[in-house]
Amino acid sequence: MDLFTRIRENAGPLGKYADVAEGYYIFPKLEGEIANRMVFNGKEVVIWSINNYLGLANHPEVRKVDAESAAKYGMAYPMGSRMMSGNTDMHGQLEKELASFVNKPASLLVNFGYQGIFSAIDALLSRKDVVVYDSGCHACIVDGVRMHLGQRFVFDHNDMASLQKNLQRAKQITEKTGGGILVISEGVFGMRGEQGDLKGIVALKDKYNFRLLVDDAHGFGTLGATGAGAGEEQGVQDEIDIYFSTFAKSMAGIGAFFAGEADIMQYLKYNVRSQIFAKSLPMPFVEGGLQRLQLLKENPQFKDKLWEIATALQEGLKARGFNLGNTTSCVTPVILDGSVPEATQLVTDLRDNHGIFCSIVVYPVIPRGMILLRLIPTAVHTLQDVEVTLEAFTSVAEKLRLGAYRADQIAAKIA
């Protein structure tokens, strides 16, 4: 069979909905400055779907440094991979400051979180090693684990008994192969907002002798006394052997980093293939990254404001009887009962009639019959935004309960 024939016949789990969903449910376009309110389909909406947690995306000092750096260096400098020709003092400076912020001896900057982490998993593991990871882990971890040529085990999400069972299996294997064990979890699971049970995981370290890698994409900047993330929040930052975060969220930029012992960072620097064979991070992202980190460190009020909004939103939703699952972060999931077609109608109503834009997750990402709306509070939201959102949610949840979203053309097409 011709490859393209097969592809044309099967556009993939999301692609098959492109003709009915693209531009609205999938690949929507948000216009205007990144803020609490933006324009969708020509109308102003309250935005609850972007991870601009601390509001840095449009901070005037961030905009200034981004622009000045682009004017000074252009978007290309430095050219080539960092290994060959694309290294600068500023890249090193950012690494030093990131390491110090998350309380680790050293760090390694990478261009993208996704590519960095899957490639780091590949670099860290040999065929003799076993990787044990949480079933709720992000696609970048799942894809990294798929590259591993040795054994891999997945434990039930945040379930320490399941982790132990899998560590026992891992230990039996490594005793034979002479390899080591890598456990991977997240600081905050971005879909439902639960913190990874890092405390529970590190309590098993002595017994099973493993190293721990934590993807703290959503914890960095939002959790812990200084904003150093979920490890700091849970008092186990020192026990995280390899700390990871992207700049895509609290830092409102592009880039990512690992942090840990200096020799391990040095190893990654020479062995993370997605980085050594890729062009170096351009200067505006590096200088912009330094500026963002400085603002993050010097302005704890950004995190306080984020939490003021998150708390008002979560408490308000709970008071109105909504099920927020087990979130322990500012990621706010709202779990409703309903079919996929109903979910599409509910979201249309929320966006078009109530001016509320949030992400929606349905089957097969979550079980059939369940709708998960995900709200991401930020420091640039207002209590007024929270108020209109609570009212809108109350209205659509009532309609859903009464079956008002059952019949519709788009719904019928998707069903």
Ligand X SMILES: Cc1ncc(COP(=O)(O)O)c(C=O)c1O
Identity of residue 198: L
User: Per-residue x/- marks for ligand X, 127-156, CB under 6 A?
Assistant: -----------x-x----------------
Alpha helices for 132-203 (secondary structure H): 139-146, 160-177, 198-202
Matching residue, tokens 């030093």: 96
Residue 123 lies near ligand X (rule: CB under 6 A): no
Identity of residue 70: A
Cα 137 to Cα 184: distance, rounded to the nearest angstrom: 8
Extended strands (E) in 181-261: 181-186, 210-215, 242-246, 256-260
* SS3 at position 381: coil
Beta bridge partners of 130: 151, 181
Residue 113 lies near ligand X (rule: CB under 6 A): yes
Extended strands (E) in 236-344: 242-246, 256-260, 332-337
Residue 292 lies near ligand X (rule: CB under 6 A): no
Residue 220 lies near ligand X (rule: CB under 6 A): no
From 23-31, 38-46, 111-119, 144-152, give the range in contact with ligand X by CB under 6 A.
111-119
Cβ closest to ligand X, residue 120 vs residue 283:
120
* SS3 at position 351: helix
Residue 213 lies near ligand X (rule: CB under 6 A): no
Cβ closest to ligand X, residue 55 vs residue 255:
255
Residue 52 lies near ligand X (rule: CB under 6 A): no
Cα 127 to Cα 120: distance, rounded to the nearest angstrom: 15
From 21-29, 107-115, 127-135, 307-315, give the range in contact with ligand X by CB under 6 A.
107-115
Cα 243 to Cα 176: distance, rounded to the nearest angstrom: 29
Residue 215 lies near ligand X (rule: CB under 6 A): yes
Cβ closest to ligand X, residue 123 vs residue 397:
123
Residue 223 lies near ligand X (rule: CB under 6 A): no
Q: Which of 17, 114, 118, 210 binds ligand X (CB under 6 A)?
A: 114
Measured in degrees and rounded to the nearest 5, phi and psi for residue 410 equal -60, -40
Residue 98 lies near ligand X (rule: CB under 6 A): no
Residue 229 lies near ligand X (rule: CB under 6 A): no
Residue 256 lies near ligand X (rule: CB under 6 A): yes
Nearest distance, CB of residue 205 and ligand X, angstroms: 22
Q: Which of 190, 231, 253, 333 binds ligand X (CB under 6 A)?
A: 190
Whole-angstrom CA distances from 32 to 39, 42, 43 are: 6, 10, 11
Check if the beta carbon of residue 49 is closer than 8 Å to that of residue 377: no
Residue 333 lies near ligand X (rule: CB under 6 A): no
Q: Which of 246, 274, 332, 345 binds ligand X (CB under 6 A)?
A: 246
Residues of this chain that interact with ligand X (CB under 6 A) are 112-114, 117, 138, 140, 186, 190, 215, 217, 246, 248, 256
